[in-house]
Structure 1
Amino acid sequence: MAISNIFIAGMDKCGTTALSEWVVANDLAEDRVPGVKEPALYVSDEPHPGKFRLPEGRPLLDATVAYSKSAEYIGLLPEHDTRIVICWRNQLDRSWSLYKMLKVYERSGAELDSYFLSPLEKRGADEIKRRTFFEIVERYFPRRLHGVFKGYVEKEMEHIRTHSFLERVEYEMGFYLSRQQWPFCSVLAGGFYYRPIRMLLEKYLPQDIAVISVNQLADPDRRRHFVREVFEQDVDTPDVPLSFSIENIELEEPKPDFRDRKFDTLRACFRYDLEQARELVKTTLFGDSLLDHAGLDRYFTEQTR
């Protein structure tokens, strides 16, 4: 089939920005909304010109990672002539990376300005400016309830700013166990991979879904295979310039030792989720052949302290 739509639908802090920039830079697809990585067009049924835009030679790319977190969002995505790409990274490292990003979101300074604005500059966005976290996510909430959701988001961001990573983890786990849902601004929710794959498989054929670890595309043969199957182009491409740039930003709080027994419960939850998700992934386009298994299993196989 001719591919019209590419959605990099998850998971956050797993290399989706680097992958989407690489896709556009190598003319494999073009942004559905020019200059915008995450237009979030399909979080509601509101009309938008981007939804009705037809591809002119290249597929249209939408790299809104929130799509994979909601059955409602998935239900709004176009079904035909579509490929879904999901990126995986070690769940604990991913959660720490997101925690760091949220921890410094409202801080200013040249290094932080560069971190947050660089992706906009690379894509040639029309507007290059720092926005608050709520300004980024407000489009996900009904307009008439903005005031309510703004209060929730600001409360959770304040909690992240004033608590350690371990304290945030304990808070979120308790929140989930008591309410059966994650708090706003969760650093853990995106690290559970089974549910997104299960929801996507309820709508799409397994061969429409590609699950990868972006660092595996450093191998030229794997990269060519990825391009050929997802974009239906048999071309050579340069390596994906993958870097988790938030890792270069220092916090007063050092990165936790995830082998510490204080993280036993979280490790057990992530391990079980990953085992279940891997079984579903085996049925998808690449199976688990493009996953970084050693990286995913880090902290699970080594002796705890």
Structure 2
Amino acid sequence: MGIKMRLLQSNDDEYFLDCIDELYRTIEDDKTEFDSERILIKHSRFKSFLIRKLILFPVLFKFRPQIKNQRVVNFASMISGDFRLLIPYAFSSSMNFIYMYDVWPRFHAWIFPLLDFFGVKYVFFSSKQVLEIYNQKYIHIKCKAQWIPEALTSGDYSYKDYHDRNIDVLEFGRMYDEYHELIKEPLALHKKKHVFRTPDKYFLFADKQAFTMALASSKIVICVPSNITNPERSEFISSMTLRYLQAMASKCLVVGLLPSDMEEIFGYNPIVEIDMENQSQQLLDILENYEGYLPLIEKNYEQVLANHQWQNRWEIMKLKIEEVL
């Protein structure tokens, strides 16, 4: 029997949080070191209230509250500083670990000190830029950190032969509004099937199955990092997100803008970069000559299978966790 590990997860059921579920399933399937138990954390106004109040009094950050020290590992995959997931579990063990997405600069001043408050031994950031800021400006924080890019479980995605794909261009998630407005009418004029979110429908797909079926049926997927689509939120943070990998695992061609860390992750440029001077014609030309892009699509697919699944990422995280146990 391995060391007990509690996988702390919000009970939100939106399909776009399946990246967390995919990681947790990978950990649950690994029986070599940990005996994992998934714990769903219900939404709690009280816990959220406590975190908000704690942020207002930074002098409290230096405290290390601990009720007891069980030999239990707590692991939480969380969006930004959602520390409510650790309450009360972090206070009954000194072995706490986090995988963290969307750590935007305006939150750093309270997120990073709270890592020590909650006794986090290791934090894994999805963004290389966030890790660099952490290492440069927060050297007084005891919690260790590492960059672990996002990943997926390839078995959750499928693909069709390109002849059988009936969606020409798919835009999902965050919209690059300026670009969208430039391509929308020309694609419609040329009778290309263009699927995108409309103002009356915040979520484009009802569930993950509908989402993955749309990916499997799409030729081109538009992917742009959030520092371009939502700079008021992400500021200058430019990172490869799951949407790039999901498109590649579904054998779609990614057209978009390259996140600052993606070429380093892949070792080459895996996308076709947007030509803002020739936006719609670029897409029409790609669709007309789609077979010429099949080698890139296949190369990306093989790279995702070999190097960018949660199993690859978990092996690294597991080693770091074992180092400090």
Same fold (TM over 0.5): no
Higher relative contact order, structure no. (Cα contacts within 8 Å, ≥ 6 residues apart): 1
Structure number having the greater strand percentage? 2
Question: What TM-score does the superposition give when structure 1 sets the normalisation length?
Answer: 0.31
